[in-house]
Structure formats: C-alpha cells, structure tokens
A = this chain, B = another copy of it.
C-alpha cells in the first residue's frame, strides 16, 4: 500500500467492501483528525482554507473535467434542467468556491471562546469554553458547491467532515475532495479532516446515519424528502434544516406600499429558497389586499385563494381555489396560498397550525400587534416589516452557513461556525474536594 497514492484509491479499495465497516473505519480516521484539528490554532486553519482556495483555482481544469462527466451522465439520465444547472460548474462558479473559502478564513474562530466563567465561593475557577463538536456528517444533494462550503466551515470550526453528496455529482465531488485533502496536507493539518463516503453510494449514507458514537452530529441539507428520511433513519443526533412553510401576515394597519413590497419580495426574490414565503394572510380590514394580490399576480405568481381572497383578485388573474393541502404546501415556485383572516389571533392560530417553524413576517404599524406576533410565533425567525428572505447566515451577519435549523435543540435559524461547536467546562482547583 505504501507506494500508492491513497487519493486515487476508492473507499472500497482502502476500507473494504462492507459499507458499515468501511464508514466506521473512515469515522475512526475522522476522529483522529478531529483530535488534531481541535488543537490547531486559528492561523493554521485559515492557512489551510487559503491553500484550499488556491488549489481549487489552480486545478480548475481537473474539476471542470470531472464535472463534465457528471453533466454528461446527468443528460443521459434525463435529469431536469434545474438540477443540471445546480450541478454545473464553470470558471466563474469555481472562482466563487475559492472566494467563499477566503471569506471563511476572514471570519472569527469560535473555538476557545469563553461563554461563561467565574470563581466560586470556594475558590474553584470555572470556564465554559467553546470546543469543536468533533466529527460532523453532512448528507446533501448534487451540488458541488456544498462540498466546498461544508468542508471549509467544518475545518474552520475545528471539525472533521464526512460528506455524502448526491450520486449525480460523484465525479465532481471526488475531484474537489481530493484537492481539499491535498491542501490540508500542504497546510500540515490532518488530511482525514475531509472525507467523502460517496464511493459507498446509498449504503454509505445509511452507514453514516447509523454511526452513533462515531459521528457526533448529522446535518441533512436538501429537500423535504431527504431531510425526513435522515430524521427517521438516523441514530446519530440530527439537526433538521430548511423546511420552510413561511407566512407573511398583512395586518389591518399595514402600509399598502410596504405590504406589496414585502409580499412580492418574500415570494418571488428566489422561489427555490427555504425562506421564501408560501402563504399570505390578509387582514379583512386591511386596505392593502387588492394592491398586494394585483402585484403578486402581475409578478407571475399563481395564487391559491380562499373565497374571500378571490373577491380581491384583479380581473382575469391566474388563480385556483385553495384547499386544505395548500395551507401545508411548500411550493418552492411561483405559487402562493392566500387566506383572509379577521384578526391577529386568527392569523396566529393558522400559523401555529401549519408552520414548519422557519420564518414568519408581519407587516403592521400597530406596536402591540408586532409584539404579540413576535412573541407568540414559535418559529426560528420572526420578522416585523421585513422580507422573509432575510433569514440567512450571510444576511444575519453570521458568515457562511451549514443550513437553517428549524428545530429547537442546539441550533435554531442559520447555522454558522458557532453552531458547529459545543462547550466544555474547565475547572481549576488547588486540591479542592467536596465535603
């Protein structure tokens, strides 16, 4: 084995045919790497990120060649133009990958931050300190940019990453992971800080979900089907991300111009994003209703309306009658459900019933209603007079994000570097014992 370059061996050649055994061995290597990475000061990690960026740019031909094979196979398999576009890399996008790593290098390092600390009455000195989680697994769809983003975020926060990208991006991800590992070696950091289990295919994903005790946390990043499958099957602790049945409520006192602007932006700015609005709730006494629906219609949004909302539609609009299913649907496209409500309470009850806990926004000029809306909605982010599209790590000023957590444990909302850390209590005494 010694004379072979392991970066060109498949996982099966290195770790054996059995995916559970193989992924287990990879996780052991990841644990060793994580022990080294946890002690690496920020400067070393940043140097590795900058080297990763440089190597990606230098070897863009290798990446494009691999990506070309994926695209060719994708076309043969008739995957949709939208998926092909997400899979596709070009020189500009490769530059974007490198830039994202350089931006990560510029962000502060959460590791070593003292969260709380004090000297107790008995003289014990205590510090609660941020430390890396250890080994982080991420399961995502065929987007090569996620491979680089996640690897960068993991290394910066001191974690070893075990990646499972969609099989449609197999060649692209293999090329990228190889380059990232070479950069880690050049930076004298453990190469097993970044590994992919893609060679094991679906079995590799399943093995990753079952590696309890070996993998500290698993983040599924993708559509609803992927996330629910991981939540259901994983024994490793999971952080749910990204399901967004997002609501905008136009209150009685809403300024019609502002209501129009926020509703249209929340819905149409990027319909495939999880923070895009899916249901519009209109106060029956609001003067904004007709104007907002006309603007949405003009923007090309197909509206699914209840009976009272239908009366507010512009003549000739492209609409459907809303059914129970519409209140639950995350369209992720140019469609929106619309319901007229008679009070803030009715709006809140609707949201509590149908929300996935991602983001909700109220447009209002009533202070008491703004307070109640933010207090009584049980979602990761609640907005007053702002587009739901702002729920985003970059927009929140947190830097890069692993995903947007819609669960309450550990992380809620955009997950950045800090959310990939845990804490440790360090206690210093002088022979202290309990009496």
Task: Give the B-binding residues of A (Cβ under 8 A).
Answer: 35, 38-39, 118, 120, 124, 126, 128, 131, 133-134, 216-217, 232, 235, 237, 239, 255, 257-258, 261-262, 264-266, 269, 352, 370, 374-376, 378-387, 389-391, 395-397, 407-410, 412-413, 422-434
Contacts and interface: CB of A to CB of B under 8 A. Distances in A.
Task: State how many copies of this chain the complex holds.
Answer: 2
A188 B383 CA distance: 31
Contact of A433 (B124, B133, B387): B387
Given A134-B378, A424-B379, A409 B412 contact: no
A427 B381 CA distance: 7
A126 B408 contact: no
A386 B428 contact: yes
20 contacts: A35-B378, A118-B397, A120-B396, A124-B386, A126-B397, A133-B409, A257-B431, A264-B433, A265-B433, A370-B428, A381-B425, A382-B427, A384-B429, A385-B430, A385-B431, A386-B431, A409-B410, A412-B424, A412-B425, A413-B424
Contacts of A38: 375-376
Q: With a 10 A CB-CB cut-off, give which of A38, A387, A430 has the most chain B CB atoms.
A: A387
Closest 10 CB pairs of A and B: A386-B429, A265-B433, A408-B422, A258-B431, A410-B410, A381-B425, A386-B432, A389-B434, A387-B433, A409-B410
A134 B408 contact: yes
A420 to B, nearest CB: 10
B432 A385 contact: yes
Given A375-B39, A390-B124, A407-B237, A384 B428 contact: yes
B269 A383 contact: no
Contacts of A409: 133, 216-217, 237, 239, 409-410, 422
A35 B409 CA distance: 18
A396 B126 CA distance: 8
A158 to B, nearest CB: 11
Contacts of A239: 409
Contacts of A376: 35, 38-39
Nearest to A398: B116
Given A409-B217, A434-B389, A429 B397 contact: no
A374 to B, nearest CB: 5
Contacts of A433: 261-262, 264-266, 269, 386-387, 389
A431 B134 contact: no
Nearest to A370: B428
B425 A387 contact: no
A160 B382 CA distance: 22
Given A217-B408, A237-B407, A426 B374 contact: yes
B434 A382 contact: no
Contacts of A389: 433-434
B431 A255 contact: yes
B424 A383 contact: no
Given A258-B431, A386-B431, 12 more contacts: A124-B386, A134-B378, A134-B408, A265-B434, A266-B433, A383-B429, A385-B428, A385-B429, A385-B430, A408-B422, A409-B422, A413-B424
A227 to B, nearest CB: 13
A396 B116 CA distance: 11
Given A375-B39, A432-B385, A427 B390 contact: yes
